[in-house]
Structure 1
Amino acid sequence: MATSERCELLGRFGSFGWWVQGLLGLISFSSLIIKRQRERVKRSWLVFGLDSSKQAAGALTLHLLNLLFAEGLSGLARQPHHDPCNWYWVNIMVDTTLGVLVTYLLLQQARKLLHLSGDREFGNYVRQDVPSDLFVHGRAAPDEHSLSPRRGLVGGEARGEGGGPSLLSSVDWRKWLRQLGLWEAIVVAMKMLMLMLMLAASAPLGWLADTLLSPLDGLPKGKLVVVMVLTPLIMNAFQYWVTDNFIKRQEREVAPLYYETESASAMPFDRPPSQPNVASGPPTPTRESELPQYFHATRGDERRDDS
């Protein structure tokens, strides 16, 4: 097959490959918006944006590394016809399956570093001076114990009569930057491990990609769509959905600041685990074991199906 007919990963700026990549990015991240809309208790758009920004930065880094390594790995298979598109497909499949597991395991270890730096939890962006009595029963604490009244506390909306801070003013951006840098390091470390795996198994992986993608060898643009749109669209959507479940806040305290007003107010906390004693001060944070079963089913991994 002539060189001009082979699949090109990107080509010149503004070429077909660049348009394909732009479309891919928009469609892939739309899956995160759909996931957010399907949450029973929705994160506020600000918190969702902060969570998603880490995935966006990691996805961009991973994409650039995939383009770099695809060119190099294609020469390691020692086959007559080396096609970078085949190795990009291998990269995608490995990153979105085994790579997701590796990032989860690395993040579990990285959480310890966050605790040492004073962060409460990965995915928690609230300042340290925000009192813990804001984390009560899935909604705002009583007005006499909170920084702001119930209205306007959730989702960073306009403040109520109490004049308390909004979610935006409660965000510690240094926490977000630390978590962003930590996630970037995790993504790069995962890619290095996956690269070593692909180097060790380059022959069988190259043979598998050549076999599965050989029907598209005579259709470079069609192959580009399959390799860089259809495959990433399906596999990245899977990767983003799974990763979002463990990259967002996992702390078992219920933070009303993190959720939309309508969603938080709809949570059935008719029987709070403990009634606050006004004389003894604000109520204590609610733990997962004390929460109604409805909320347990919203913490990322669905524990039961609705009848």
Structure 2
Amino acid sequence: MNSTQIMLKNPQGGFHCSKDSLTDVFGWFLQVLLACLAFTCLIAKRFCEPRAERRSWLIWFYDTSKQGMGAMAIHLANVWLAGQYMGDPCTWYLINFLLDSSMGLLIIFTGIRFCQYLSRKKGWDAINFGEYGKPPSANAWLAQCCLYVGLMAIVKVSITLFMQLDFWDGVKNFILSPINNPKIELAFVMLIIPFFVNMLMFWVTDNFLMHKSRTSRRLRRDSVEDSLLTRTKVKYRTIKKKARRRDPESDILLSGDDELLDSESTPINRHVMA
């Protein structure tokens, strides 16, 4: 009997998906569709990068494949764990997924920054996320993949322990309670909600994992400083024109300030040109 024939009755009324809903044909179809959409978002992100800083396809694959393997491991763990709890597996899966995308993201960020710190202090270049050497080394990529999957395992263990608290039973009865159709509930749990959350999470995590060169960061910072100085000068010229209309004698003081602004802008412009 499939999920359309077996449905779990909610104590508060309404029907929810059955134990095998996450792993039947419709459930796997939604999971494969979600994976394809998430992969497409990462491709779109690459084309949104500035052309001068855009990663090669090989580096992009090295960066995103870590996310792909980690997300697949977490997803399969959530599907299995959802069937181990009492009650509706769809709500348990959604709770696990949302915790992975919030608390889990914080753990991942902390772990990546800690690995980068160890890389700088100990000289372990292979564990510096986003750095693969020149030419890119598959060994460095493999080491970072193992570390990232290890971080995801820490995330899953931490959240599984957190899920043992009693108040989650009340959350389970409340979440998705307005939905009475098991197919619609499964679509929300496996596709609609994960798509928008994964799109944000993958985008943010990819920024953690990708390498940002010091040169690009310096040029971006100098560009911001130059833009701020330009805005300051524009505002100052406007104030100067208004002051001239009110008091012609103030031109002497304002002209001295003009020379000061021009002298301050010269070093920054020379630095940007260099």
TM-score, structure 1 as length reference: 0.62
Paired with 1:44 and 1:295, the residues of 2 have a C-alpha distance of 24
Unaligned runs of 5+ in 1: 76-81, 128-169, 255-287, 298-303
Q: How far 1:226 moved relative to its partner? A: 0.5
Higher helix proportion, which one? Answer: 2
- Indicate the residue corresponding to 2:72 in structure 1: 60
Query: What's the counterpart of residue 242 of structure 2?
Result: none
Structure 2: which 5+ runs fail to align? 9-16, 232-274
- The DSSP-based 3-state class of the residue aligned with 1:215 is coil
Equivalent runs, 1:125-204 vs 2, <5 Å? 125-127=132-134, 170-200=135-165, 203-204=166-167
The amino acid that maps onto 1:178 is A
After TM superposition, list the pairs within 5 Å mapping 1:40-79 onto structure 2. Answer: 40=50, 41-72=53-84, 74-75=85-86
Matches within 5 A, 1:283-298: 288-289=217-218, 291-293=219-221
Matched, 1:243 2:250: no
Paired residue for 2:95, among 90, 94, 99?
90
Alpha-carbon shift at residue 10 of structure 1 (Å):
2.8
8 Å Cα contact 1:122-1:250 kept in structure 2? no
Q: 1:126 to 1:214 in 2, by over 3 A?
A: same
| Contact 2:91–2:175 (CA under 8 A) maintained in structure 1 | no
Indicate yes or no: 2:110 matched with 1:105: yes
Distance 1:295 1:23 in 2: 41
Residue deviations 1:126-170 (CA, integer Å, cap 9, x gap): 24xxxxxxxxxxxxxxxxxxxxxxxxxxxxxxxxxxxxxxxxxx1
Partner of 1:266: none
CA distance in 1, matches of 2:97, 2:200: 12
Check whether the contact 2:45–2:203 (CA below 8 A) recurs between aligned residues: yes
What is the distance in 2 between the residues matched to 1:296 and 1:22?
Answer: 42
C-alpha separation between the residues in 1 aligned to 2:222 and 2:215?
15
Alignment of 1:116-131 (within 5 A): 116=122, 118-119=124-125, 121-127=128-134
CA distance in 2, matches of 1:233, 1:103: 20
Q: Is the 8 A contact 1:62 1:187 kept in 2?
A: yes
Deviations 1:15-63 (A, max 9, x none): 1111111101111221112222111232122211110000000001111
**Cα distance in 1 for residues equivalent to 2:187 and 2:220:** 46
Answer yes or no: is the 8 Å Cα contact 1:27–1:233 preserved in 2.
Answer: yes
Q: Using a 3 Å threshold, how does the CA distance of structure 1 residues 296 and 113 change in structure 2: closer, same or farther?
A: farther
Q: CA deviation at 1:250?
A: 4.0
Q: Does 1:38 align with 2:43?
A: no
Asked whether 1:214 is paired with 2:215, we answer no
Give the count of matched residue pairs. 211
AA partner of residue 93 (structure 2):
Y
Cα deviation for residue 113 of structure 1 reads 4.2
Contact kept in structure 1, 2:22 and 2:90, CA below 8 Å:
no
The answer to whether structure 1 residue 232 and structure 2 residue 194 are counterparts is: yes
Aligned to 1:21: 31
TM-score by length of 2: 0.69
Distance, in Å, in 2 between the alignment partners of 1:94 and 1:56 is 18
Aligned partners of 2:108 and 2:151 also within 8 Å: yes
Structure 2 counterpart SS, 1:123:
coil
CA distance in 1, matches of 2:76, 2:123: 30
Measure, in 2, the Cα distance between the counterparts of 1:48 and 1:210.
Answer: 42
Partner secondary structure for residue 122 of structure 1: coil
Give identity over the alignment, percent: 31
Give the distance between the partners of 2:224 and 2:29, measured in 1 at CA: 42
Q: Distance in 2 between matches of 1:294 and 1:37?
A: 24
Distance in structure 1 (CA, Å) of the matches to 2:79 and 2:176: 18
